[in-house]
């Protein structure tokens, strides 16, 4: 959510940003919110003036009573009582205007970074760099669930009976591999100075609306019936929520956390062949990283965060590339975003395995995450990035480490987490 003062003083800049996001249907909202904001401030001023007048009259009543002028005091009291009703009406009107302003402001997209390429959707994202040589072996690489089934590592049929489509049972060495990747990613981030955290897996609605847009919320979140609780779609939600309504001493910044959690997502819509199996599912586990920092430090942390993901995948001999997300592919709260994609030898192309985002002060403004500095308070900047998200990461792992005889080799970095195994057969 952008600053209402910025919108008030720079309406054309906000409108231009909306155009860059290809959300022209939101352009009228800028003028609407300016008008509502003016009405809210006008009403607030009327209420403040009336409160001042009431205070003045209250002192007058006291003076009249002390002089024994009870009848005159009673007449003034009538004025005060009449003003009380007017003040109540003004307060209700001010609240109504303010709520409308907030609701609209939460749908107006954040101001994107000047470096973000302009484009309508993910097809116009821009490749930045490739890491590692994307190889295609001489032998055929099966679909990822076929690899898992041959290794007795997955049971989709039983999962469908138990929970429906979009769920799975991981078994044996594949299940162990899944846990090994998560544990390795945890230690990888701890070694880079991040504090490990296991957060709540459910969050309240005020945290949900603080960390994501309404469109994202509707498309992703599962609501707990009868409770003001949602299952998290990523641990970023509860990790950023950890700092809700707090004032952080500037000397304690940056806050750098890495978290493990299961994730739950609706994943609405039909998906193609390549997104079946365990690519796009309702439940998965993930290692995440978040940073809360000074505004001037967020660009540096943004570069560090996505580089962590690249380094982790390269440590497991998986080729990756980075993509700069274009304006139309950015969620409304994001200032800038980079996707990390892993190489798929079977598809002979890259696919997304992680996303790094700088949200500026948008989440902090919604959640009231402030920093106490020598010169006053300000809103922090927040960033998040995927360290690793099995089982999607397992697809890249299995395809890039599959051997011609059907076995899967285990890179040296992961072998301690697999009990010393060098391959899965």
| Domain boundary assignment for the chain | 4-105, 122-424
Residues of the chain where predicted confidence (pLDDT) is lower than 50: 270, 273-275
pTM of the model: 0.88
Supply the Cα-derived Rg of the chain in whole angstroms: 27
Q: How far apart are CA 4 and CA 277, in angstroms?
A: 45
Q: Any idea which residue has 């609701």 for tokens? A: 103
Q: Where are the alpha helices (DSSP H) in 346-409?
A: 362-367, 392-401
Q: Tell me, what's the pLDDT at 18?
A: 97
What is the pLDDT of the chain when averaged over all its residues? 91
Q: Tell me, what's the pLDDT at 215?
A: 74
Q: Tell me, what's the pLDDT at 280?
A: 82
Q: Tell me, what's the pLDDT at 7?
A: 94
Q: Tell me, what's the pLDDT at 270?
A: 46
Question: What is the dotted CATH code of the domain comprising 4-105?
Answer: 1.10.287.40
Number of CB atoms found within 10 A of residue 67's CB: 10
Do 4-105 and 122-424 agree at the fold level? no
Q: Is the dihedral of CA 245, 222, 259, 321 positive or negative?
A: negative
Span 122-424 CATH architecture: 2-Layer Sandwich (3.30)
Q: Tell me, what's the pLDDT at 30?
A: 96
List of E strands, 205-348: 222-223, 230-231, 246-249, 255-264, 283-293, 320-324, 336-344
Q: Tell me, what's the pLDDT at 420?
A: 96
Closest CA to 285 of 266, 257, 263: 263
Number of CB atoms found within 10 A of residue 117's CB: 14
Render the burial of 296-332: b for 16+ CB within 10 Å, e for the rest.
eebbebbebbbbbbbebbeebebbbbbbbbbbbbbbb
Contact (Cβ atoms closer than 8 angstroms) between residue 284 and residue 392: yes
Number of CB atoms found within 10 A of residue 1's CB: 23
């Amino acid at each position: 959510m952008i600053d209402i003062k910025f919108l008030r003083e720079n309406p054309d800049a906000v409108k231009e940003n909306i155009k860059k996001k290809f959300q022209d249907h939101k352009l009228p909202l800028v003028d609407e919110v300016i008008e509502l904001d003016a009405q809210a401030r006008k009403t607030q001023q009327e209420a403040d003036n009336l409160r001042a007048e009431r205070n003045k009259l209250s002192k007058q009543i006291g003076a009249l009573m002390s002089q024994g002028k009870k009848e005159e005091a009673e007449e003034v009291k009538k004025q005060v009582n009449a003003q009380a009703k007017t003040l109540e009406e003004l307060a209700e009107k001010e609240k109504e205007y303010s709520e409308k302003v907030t609701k609209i402001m939460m749908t107006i997209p954040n101001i994107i970074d000047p470096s973000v390429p302009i484009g309508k959707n993910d097809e116009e994202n821009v490749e930045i760099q490739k890491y590692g040589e994307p190889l295609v072996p001489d032998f055929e690489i099966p679909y990822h669930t076929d690899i898992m089934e041959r290794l007795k590592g997955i049971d989709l049929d039983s999962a469908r009976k138990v929970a429906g489509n979009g769920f799975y049972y991981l078994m044996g060495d594949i299940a162990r591999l899944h846990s090994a990747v998560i544990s390795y990613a945890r230690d990888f981030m701890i070694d880079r100075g991040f504090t490990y955290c296991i957060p709540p897996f459910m969050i309240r609605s005020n945290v949900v609306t603080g960390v994501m847009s309404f469109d994202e919320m509707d498309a992703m979140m599962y609501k707990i019936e009868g409770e003001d609780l949602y299952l998290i779609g990523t641990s970023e939600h509860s990790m950023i929520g950890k700092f809700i309504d707090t004032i952080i001493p500037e000397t304690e910044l940056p806050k750098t956390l890495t978290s493990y959690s299961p994730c739950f997502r609706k994943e609405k819509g039909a998906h193609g062949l390549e997104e079946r199996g365990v690519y796009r599912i309702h439940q998965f586990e993930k290692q995440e990283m978040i940073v809360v920092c000074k505004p001037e430090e967020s660009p540096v942390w943004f570069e560090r965060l996505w580089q962590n993901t690249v380094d982790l995948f390269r440590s497991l001999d998986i080729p990756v590339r980075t993509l700069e997300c274009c304006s139309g592919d950015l969620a409304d709260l994001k200032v800038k975003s980079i996707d990390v994609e892993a190489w798929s030898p079977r598809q002979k192309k890259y696919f997304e395995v992680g996303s790094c985002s700088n949200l500026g002060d948008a989440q902090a403004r919604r959640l009231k995450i402030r920093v106490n500095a020598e010169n006053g308070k300000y809103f922090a900047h927040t960033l998040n990035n995927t360290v690793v998200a099995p089982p999607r990461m397992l697809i890249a792992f299995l395809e890039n480490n599959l051997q011609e005889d059907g076995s899967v080799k285990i890179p040296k970095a992961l072998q301690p987490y697999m009990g010393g195994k060098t391959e899965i057969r």
